Structure 1
Amino acid sequence: MSSSDLPSSKLGTKEHWDHVYSAELSNFKEIGDEGEIWFGEDSVEKMIDWAVENIPSDTNPWIVEIGSGNGTLLFALQEAGYPPRRICGVDYSQDAVKLSRAIGESREEGASDITFGVCDFLTDYPAPLDGQSSSSDRVGLWDLVLDKGTFDAMALSERDENGNAPWEAYPPRIAQILRPGGYFLITSCNFTEDELRTKFSNAETGLEYQ
């Protein structure tokens, strides 16, 4: 199924995710429920296994997740030995960021050192972390960029008045924030491997599939 075949859905709206994370934040405060694990624990384990094999923690990579939600993937990276002060999660939902920060504060030492911030990735870039080489335009900073369902949700957004789909701007922006030789790791349930390869590995992005 191509992206043009995907019908728009509430899953592609900020209003939906604001509502989801507002409820999950309330649940966490009341009963300690950390919320839904998007795509399940198996997807998290597979992404961690790939990172450990390809970008070991002792290389001290700078890592950012686009659309980090409740932070499950990033907390798993920290538990796998990756330095938390070099890990960042961004989300366009303020309550998602509040939830992930609260979860980090409730966990063992180190989890609270992960940085979570509000960022609409289609209009802004993640801010550099302390100690990270920064540039005024915030590009070329990250060794590993993660996506666990964000592109899927974005592909369900409505086109604008000019017929442009929001997801179309996403792949080149991913390429811009990667350091030379960096990696982009994505998990999807809406697109096949070949479709993702076509969308992200092309002349416009300069990304190479591995």
Structure 2
Amino acid sequence: MSDLQPSKLGTKEHWDSVYEEELANFEEIGDEGEVWHVIRSFGTESVEKMVEWALEHVPSSSNASILEVGSGNGTLLFGLLDAGYDPITLSGIDYSRGAVSLAKEIASKRGGGAQSISFSECDFLKDEPKVLDSTQGADESGVWDVLMDKGTYDAIALGQKDENGKSPVEKYPGRVTRLLKPGGYFLITSCNFTEDELNASFTTEETSLLYHSRIQHKTYTYGGKSGSICSSVAFRKRLP
């Protein structure tokens, strides 16, 4: 796994500042803001491909419960809504209060059921995501059919290491496993980690996750080497 150095991009203070500004811009001029990632070239194309993956493997007719980790301004969840997913099955969490406020205001302006998407403030590594109404009464663990991430894992990997030199991102795979139902899917898009690195981090005995599929992104050639700006990999939790 890449040994990334801590950066302001891995701090809550940075994202609070970003979304405070974007919320102000939305309220003033209606600008919904960036499809944020630790680099701006993440773009809408990756979001569209994640929606296409969902339509193929977990179609809207399945009524699967979907949680986006680090939902930002809600772009991915709005994309799923536009693709026909029931908004009451969609949920987004973010540890930045400004991001949650921005997503809710955009949802209110969009209408068309977007207001029924659940957006809540939650630190994925520490807190329990709000359970959807359709699963009320269930334990918080093993609740979700699908977890999605478009850059949050990358940002967490840029957080400060603890006194033992461990990155906070090391806790992430275990959280995914705890929250996914057996047979559930985890789809992640990363610009900081290769497909092989993501496989190494998530397909361990401790996680009970198995490689499922990948999304092919545009490839670029530079200096005689070819590669993609980002990697998208899907995993599935083992059945009992």
TM-score of Structure 1 vs Structure 2, range by shorter chain: over 0.9
Alpha-carbon contact 1:62-1:87 (below 8 Å) kept: yes
Q: Which residue of 1 aligns with 2:195?
A: 193
Q: Deviations over 1:32-91 (max 9, x none)?
A: 000101321100110000000000000000000000000000000001000001100000
Within 5 Å, give how 1:81-100 maps onto structure 2.
81-100=84-103
Are 2:83 and 1:80 aligned? yes
SS of residue paired to 1:3: coil
Q: Which residue of 2 aligns with 1:156?
A: 158
Shift of 1:198: 0.6
CA distance in 2: counterparts of 1:90 and 1:184, whole angstroms: 15
Are 2:133 and 1:135 aligned? no
Gaps of 5+ in 1: none
Q: Which residue of 1 aligns with 2:74?
A: 71
CA distance in 2: counterparts of 1:190 and 1:40, whole angstroms: 15
Shift of 1:13: 0.4
CA distance in 2: counterparts of 1:68 and 1:176, whole angstroms: 19
Shift of 1:133: 4.7
**Alignment RMSD:** 0.9
Q: Which residue of 2 aligns with 1:9?
A: 7
Shift of 1:132: 1.1
CA distance in 1: counterparts of 2:47 and 2:126, whole angstroms: 27
Shift of 1:204: 1.1
Shift of 1:135: 3.1
CA distance in 1: counterparts of 2:137 and 2:197, whole angstroms: 33
CA distance in 2: counterparts of 1:18 and 1:88, whole angstroms: 20
Alpha-carbon contact 1:12-1:153 (below 8 Å) kept: yes
Match of 1:207 among 202, 206, 209: 209
Percent identity between the aligned chains? Answer: 57
Q: Give the letter for the 2:63 counterpart.
A: N
CA distance in 2: counterparts of 1:122 and 1:200, whole angstroms: 15
Q: TM-score, normalised by structure 2?
A: 0.84
More strand by share: 2
SS of residue paired to 2:209: coil
Q: How many residue pairs are counted as aligned between the two chains?
A: 207
Q: Which residue of 2 aligns with 1:126?
A: 129
Q: Give the letter for the 1:48 counterpart.
A: V
Which segments of structure 1 move beyond 6 Å, counting only runs of 4 or more? Answer: none
